[in-house]
């Protein structure tokens, strides 16, 4: 009986430690995007957005706005040797259309790169010149 209680306390403590580590690593970023943009062939209106990780390995993220528009996706990792020097969203602008490209969080060496949509791929075939546009964001703790 004594062994069972000790084991239960140990398991509860381990679960508490592990769950606090996962939530501490959650990424939440808020940004005001001043233009309509596309992500995976879906158009998002200009406005306030929150992007957050849904899994402890940061492979699944959700993007949502005040209107309740939410998408869940699995971006690619985009790494650098130096930590990001600010929290920001990076967009490609091609022929007046903005496409969400990357998310960087201040101090992290790994960012999130979103896959090119079919629309962006098609447009860039006819217009190879794209412009990079950066929107400042805030990490929410």
The highest-confidence range among 1-5, 51-55, 125-129, 136-140, by mean pLDDT, is 136-140
Q: Is the pLDDT of residue 22 over 60?
A: no
What is the token pair recorded at 135? Answer: 């929107």
Q: For the chain, which residues make up each domain, given as ranges?
A: 27-139
What pLDDT, on the 0 to 100 scale, is given for residue 24? 42
pTM for this model (two decimals): 0.75
Q: Which of 43, 36, 34, 60 is nearest to 119 (CA)?
A: 43
Partnered with residue 71 across adjacent β-strands are: 63
Mean pLDDT of 82-87: 88
- Using the CB atoms, write b or e for 32-45: b if 16+ within 10 Å: ebeeebbbbeeebe
> Which of 9-13, 93-97, 120-124, 128-132 comes out lowest in average pLDDT?
9-13
What pLDDT, on the 0 to 100 scale, is given for residue 13? 42
| Bridge-based pairing state of the strands 97-104 and 61-65 | unpaired
> What DSSP state is assigned to residue 98?
E
Cα of 129 vs its chain's centroid, Å? 25
- φ, ψ of residue 12 to 5 degrees: the values are -65, -40
What is the token pair recorded at 72? Answer: 């869940």
What is the token pair recorded at 61? Answer: 């993220």
């Amino acid at each position: 009986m004594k062994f069972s209680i000790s084991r239960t306390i140990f398991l509860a403590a381990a679960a508490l430690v592990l769950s606090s580590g996962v939530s501490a690593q959650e990424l939440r970023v808020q940004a005001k995007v001043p233009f309509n943009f596309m992500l995976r062939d879906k158009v998002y209106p200009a406005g306030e957005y929150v992007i957050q990780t849904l899994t402890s390995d940061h492979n699944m993220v959700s993007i949502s706005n005040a209107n309740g528009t939410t998408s869940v996706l699995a971006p690619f990792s985009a790494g650098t040797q130096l930590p990001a020097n600010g929290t920001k969203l990076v967009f490609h602008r091609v022929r007046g259309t903005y496409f969400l490209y990357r998310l960087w969080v201040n101090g992290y060496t790994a960012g999130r790169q979103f896959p090119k949509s079919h629309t962006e791929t098609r447009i860039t075939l006819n217009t190879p010149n794209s412009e990079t546009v950066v929107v400042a964001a805030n990490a929410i703790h």
